[in-house]
Chains A and B, each alone.
Chain A
Amino acid sequence: MTPLSFVIALVAFTVFGAVFGCLIAGVDRIITARMQGRVGPPLLQPYYDVRKLLAKENRSLNGFMGYYLVLSLIFAILSGAIFFAGGNLLLVVFLIGLSTLLFIVAAYSSRSPYAEIGAGREIIQVLAYEPMILLMPVFFFFATGSFNVSAIFSLQYPLIVILPLVFAGLLFIITIKLRKSPFDLSYSHHAHQELVKGISTEMTGRNLAIVEITHWYENVLFLGYVGIFFVWVHPVALVIAVVVALAVYFLEIVIDNTFARVKWQSMLGWSWAVTLVCTVSNLVLLTVIIRFFAGGL
């Protein structure tokens, strides 16, 4: 990643990340409605929501909340830009972690009991998905010999061939990251849960708009995580990666609509169990592959 490619990626991701994120959110709402036998909102509904939120009266319980959320948005954009510029995967993971941390601090700054419950649950969610997210770059390094995302473009085979279980583990925890049922503990899009707006209870108007936009960028980045498993030197690889990422998102919508929310204990237990099983067995698989097929695959 050269400085120039980073700047280009930054500008491109700032524009297209938001556009794609918004469209994905709109399609998500329509598909969800169709699954429930409804027509659903217009495609651009998430955009209208954000426009409306920006036009609302500006009131905040804590003057710093807005700064925290803007910083959270900036780090999410930086993280996505580095990812799509082919930069260091570890840096991407840490920056998006920082973005989430700022979001949690913003919720705590309101000192509202509802927001604090949501923020506490968000921390548990981070605990649940972070081991898998941190181990993913490690396996990426085992497989490609580099932490740079751009390394996938010179692979002779896609990562899914040698890291299938890491991909399965990522699929499991990405439900938490995309804030979908059964793991939407801290914040839900649907009013059928015991804690609905949780972490964003006290975020209003412009602040809530920033939260929504951050969420768009995050979703695009997480679908990017899915995509890197399907890219190799072949020219159609990128198309395959995009199709798979969208298929995974569709799968997440199905899961969202079929499961009720679980308790945090189950979420933590399951995600750590899945992380442990997936990463250890993939480590064994990788060792076997390297032992027997070194240079051959």
Chain B
Amino acid sequence: MSAVTKSPWVLHYDASSCNGCDIEVLAALTPLYDLERFGIINTGNPKHAEVFLITGSVNEPQITVLRQLYEQMLEPKVVVACGVCACTGGVFRECYNTLGGADVAIPVDVYAPGCAIRPEAIIDAVVQGLGILEEKRVLLAAGKLEPAEMPPLPSAANKTLQGRSVALSWKDAIAQAQESSKEEPSEKEAPAQEEK
């Protein structure tokens, strides 16, 4: 074990969703679990943090925020997606404004499932993250660490993400809603006509 795994400082960001995982992560950082035993400190400053804990699904305004936080963190760093929302979008995946999990904005290293995520899963994920952190440190020391590839930005021209269409602004959302409301009555009317 090198020093980097003995002193991982944590940054926590809650993107959106129901905040259940947010509260779980904060609860895991309280004195009750005493994470300082492992040198873990909740810094609240991306420039001092190694481990980025993200909870909640990602919508469009979050992309810039997440990217900024990620880019301000210095290598070696790991990103841990906490909860199914941060992994895939979870129950909010089909929401008009949800783009998906944290990996639509930044490269994610560890996915921790659970709705809400359990403290054991958070700890397991961070421990797994420490292994990756150590690998990255070795690469960095050898000058071989390449910056992780950023996911493509969803743009107005490319409104589909992971094979489904997404709304990028409220105007798009209204337009989409109007389109689907136009379609729905015609679907309902069709069987009605057959009955006649």
Contact = CB atoms under 8 A, between A and B. Distances in A.
Contact of A191 (B42, B137, B141): B42
A202 B47 contact: yes
A40 B36 CA distance: 6
5 contacts: A36-B31, A51-B3, A52-B50, A55-B3, A201-B45
Given A40-B37, A191-B42, 13 more contacts: A39-B34, A45-B6, A45-B36, A45-B39, A49-B39, A52-B3, A52-B6, A52-B50, A55-B2, A56-B74, A197-B43, A197-B48, A202-B47
A48 B44 contact: no
Contacts of A208: 48
A204 B137 CA distance: 16
Contacts of B76: 56-57
B140 A57 contact: yes
The 9 A-B pairs with the shortest beta carbon distances in the complex, nearest first, are A51-B3, A38-B34, A57-B75, A52-B3, A48-B6, A57-B74, A52-B7, A49-B7, A48-B7
A112 B27 CA distance: 31
B31 to A, nearest CB: 5
B45 A197 contact: yes
A55 B141 contact: yes
Grouping DSSP codes into helix (H, G, I), strand (E, B) and loop, the A interface class, with mixed when no group exceeds half, is loop
Interface of B: 2-4, 6-7, 31, 34, 36-39, 41-45, 47-48, 50, 74-76, 137, 140-141
Max chain B Cβ within 10 angstroms of own Cβ: one of A33, A204, A205: A204
A208 B75 CA distance: 15
A196 B44 contact: yes
B45 A55 contact: no
B3 A48 contact: yes
Interface in A32-47: 33, 36-42, 45
Nearest to A54: B3
B17 to A, nearest CB: 23
Given A48-B7, A201-B45, A59 B39 contact: no
A224 B120 CA distance: 46
Nearest to A201: B45
Contacts of A48: 3, 6-7, 39
A179 interface: no
A29 interface: yes
Contacts of B39: 41-42, 45, 48-49
